[in-house]
């Protein structure tokens, strides 16, 4: 299972509204013993979030799904806001950041990393 974005996925991200803010939805399923590794990754990633203008909006444990197919439960959910898609792309491409990504990769059995954009309200477009 893929747990890290590919170069093609990052290029597609930058191709769509690269200067607009983005909130990244992170759905995480930990590998056995992976929670500690992910917590270490999170600690080390915090300075990069700050450097690139990112902000952790929410982090929490997943509960029992109320509506989901079998296998769709997640161990943790994070929402991280970046000032732009370009800022996110620069962060994950930073060679210093790349040195800590092994912690994230080994921590996760499966992940979803999905960019989101706010819905516009009628009459405000």
110 versus 6: the higher-pLDDT residue is 110
pLDDT at residue 6 greater than cutoff 90: no
Model pLDDT, residue 3: 52
CA distance linking residue 28 with residue 38, whole number of Å:
10
Start-to-end CA span in the chain (Å): 39
Decide if pLDDT at 1 tops 80: no
The pLDDT value given to residue 83: 96
How far is Cα 43 from Cα 37, in angstroms, rounded to an integer? 10
Residue (of 64, 86, 79, 95) closest to 15 by Cα position:
86
Residues 47-61 have pLDDT tens digits of 999 999 999 999 999
* Polymer length of the chain: 125
pLDDT, position 72:
87
Contacts of 47 (CB under 8 A, 6+ apart): none
Alpha helix stretches (DSSP H) within the chain: 7-15, 34-51, 85-93, 95-98, 101-107
5-9, 29-33, 52-56, 95-99: which range is least confident on average?
5-9
Is 90 exceeded by the pLDDT of residue 102? yes
Q: What gap in Å lies between CA 60 and CA 77, rounded to an integer?
A: 5
pLDDT at 19 over 90: no
Is 48:97 a contact under the CB 8 Å cutoff? Answer: yes
């Amino acid at each position: 299972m893929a747990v890290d974005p590919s170069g093609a996925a990052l290029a597609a991200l930058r191709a769509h509204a690269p200067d607009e803010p983005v909130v990244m939805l992170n759905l995480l399923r930990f590998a056995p013993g992976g929670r500690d590794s992910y917590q270490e990754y999170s600690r080390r990633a915090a300075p990069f979030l700050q450097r690139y203008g990112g902000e952790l909006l929410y982090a929490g444990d997943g509960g029992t799904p109320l509506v989901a197919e079998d296998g769709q439960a997640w161990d943790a959910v994070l929402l991280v806001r970046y000032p732009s898609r370009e800022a996110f792309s620069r962060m994950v491409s930073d060679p210093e950041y790349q040195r800590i990504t092994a912690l994230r990769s080994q921590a996760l059995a499966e992940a979803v990393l999905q960019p989101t954009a706010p819905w516009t309200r009628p009459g405000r477009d």
